[in-house]
Copies of this chain bind each other. A is one copy, B any other.
Amino acid sequence: LQQKPWLSVWGPVKITNSVLRSLGVIAFANNPLTGLLILVGMFVGNPSVGYAALLTGSIAVLTSKALGAPDGLVCDGVTVFNSVLMGCVVTAVFPHTQLTADDALHYWLAIAAASVITCYVDLGLNALMAPTGLPAQSLAFNFVAAVGLLAVRGKQLGHGLHDVTAAAAEAAAADAAFNATSNSLYAPEDHNVDWFKVMEGTVLAVGEVYGVGSMTPSILIWLGFLLYSPILSCCFYVGSLIGCCMGVVLSPGPLSQVYAGLWGYNSLLVAGGLSYFLRPSLNMLAAVTIGALMTVFVQAAVLPLFLQTEVPVFSFPFNIVVITVLAIGTQKGTALTFLVDRSFH
């Protein structure tokens, strides 16, 4: 399929292939069937997220071709996945369903434009990181999503900081008044940890990567990963487990965020990313464990800083940790070896 010309009847097929692969590549699983299962999961969990993936993915394929990105990277979805991630996660986070029809149109036009911009930022960041020999992972998604939300938030709410303490008190009061259901993100803090729900969180974490944090989509996505590589899936789960359990220890807020998988997805990605990019060895396994642990601490550390601006941490913790640990593998003689060909770059 890679041999076929883009400007032929094969064009739409090639674009679909790239978009599906990009969905997998978000979690290092370069396989269109994995991508298809993820896409089905999205439509089951939140159709808007699915549409966002198709819209931003197609635009990113065309933009990166126009920008002259290497053909192999475009076909494999490597130049596409940051745009897709931006589209899906922003659509999941932003209350776009409450918009009027008119504003909804503006919303989708803005997402389309942001998809183009994400391609530029991704190519630029990879060029800036080229001397280190490492790919820029999903930094482009993180920067574009954070800048976009910050810019729009200033317009809507003014430039003051979010009063985290007051907001927490309000949420607790509201919870008490309305007798919050167990699904509420702001349930009164359980003093007894519900470990069954923590285990549920370790499964849901994989859905949170794609902005669809409910059970059915998460199971579909796990199936997609198992299909691609049981070993990678295993590392993902170890990461998710470390993230969710440490989240119980480190999260200051209600444990419902741990139960929802929000403390697991960054560690999941780090564990998977390190197992994917590093040569298999005992040292690699140690790095996977330690990397997942580091990620929970980074998440706990940056969370208060992000909360003041109401911007989610996205996958900043994953990017910081995975780039730092992979860098060890670029130096000769160290116990870790970065597999350059794995990065597709």
Measured CB to CB, the residues of A under 8 A from B are 66-70, 113, 116-117, 120-121, 123-128, 130-132, 134, 146-148, 150-151, 153-161, 163-165, 168, 249-253, 283, 287, 290-291, 293-294, 297-298, 300-305, 307-309, 323-328, 330-331, 333-336
Other than the given A127-B330, A146-B301, 12 more pairs (CB < 8 A) read A67-B328, A67-B335, A117-B290, A124-B324, A124-B328, A130-B331, A131-B132, A148-B301, A151-B298, A157-B252, A158-B165, A158-B168
| Contact of A150 with B283 in the complex, beta carbons under 8 Å | no
| Contact of B164 with A66 in the complex, beta carbons under 8 Å | no
Per the bound structure, the CA–CA distance linking A300 and B148 in Å amounts to 9
Shortest A185–chain B CB gap in Å is 14
Shortest A294–chain B CB gap in Å is 6
Per the bound structure, the CA–CA distance linking A66 and B150 in Å amounts to 43
Shortest A62–chain B CB gap in Å is 12
| Contact of A324 with B120 in the complex, beta carbons under 8 Å | yes
Closest to A71 in B: B333
A323-B128 in contact given A307-B159, A331-B123, A334-B68 (Cβ < 8 Å): yes
Shortest A103–chain B CB gap in Å is 13
Chain B contacts of A123 at CB under 8 A? 327-328, 331, 334
Per the bound structure, the CA–CA distance linking A256 and B293 in Å amounts to 39
A130-B132 in contact given A117-B294, A155-B252, A158-B165 (Cβ < 8 Å): yes
Closest to A151 in B: B300
Give this chain's copy count: 3
Shortest A159–chain B CB gap in Å is 4
A164-B154 in contact given A67-B283, A334-B69 (Cβ < 8 Å): no
Tell which of A165, A283, A297 has the most Cβ of chain B within 10 Å: A297
Per the bound structure, the CA–CA distance linking A334 and B250 in Å amounts to 45
Chain B contacts of A126 at CB under 8 A? 331
Per the bound structure, the CA–CA distance linking A248 and B287 in Å amounts to 46
| Contact of B158 with A160 in the complex, beta carbons under 8 Å | no
Shortest A343–chain B CB gap in Å is 15
Shortest A289–chain B CB gap in Å is 11
Shortest A116–chain B CB gap in Å is 7
Shortest A106–chain B CB gap in Å is 10
A158-B124 in contact given A148-B297, A293-B117, A328-B67 (Cβ < 8 Å): no
| Contact of B159 with A161 in the complex, beta carbons under 8 Å | no
Chain B contacts of A330 at CB under 8 A? 127, 130
A128-B293 in contact given A68-B333, A154-B252 (Cβ < 8 Å): no
Chain B contacts of A132 at CB under 8 A? 127-128, 130-131
Tell which of A70, A127, A146, A325 has the most Cβ of chain B within 10 Å: A127
| Contact of A301 with B154 in the complex, beta carbons under 8 Å | yes
| Contact of B155 with A67 in the complex, beta carbons under 8 Å | no
| Contact of B70 with A324 in the complex, beta carbons under 8 Å | no
Q: Which of B128, B252, B327, B328 contacts A324 (CB 8 A)?
A: B128
Chain B contacts of A158 at CB under 8 A? 164-165, 168, 252
Chain B contacts of A163 at CB under 8 A? 160
Per the bound structure, the CA–CA distance linking A303 and B154 in Å amounts to 8
Chain B contacts of A309 at CB under 8 A? 304-305
A252-B159 in contact given A117-B294, A154-B304 (Cβ < 8 Å): yes
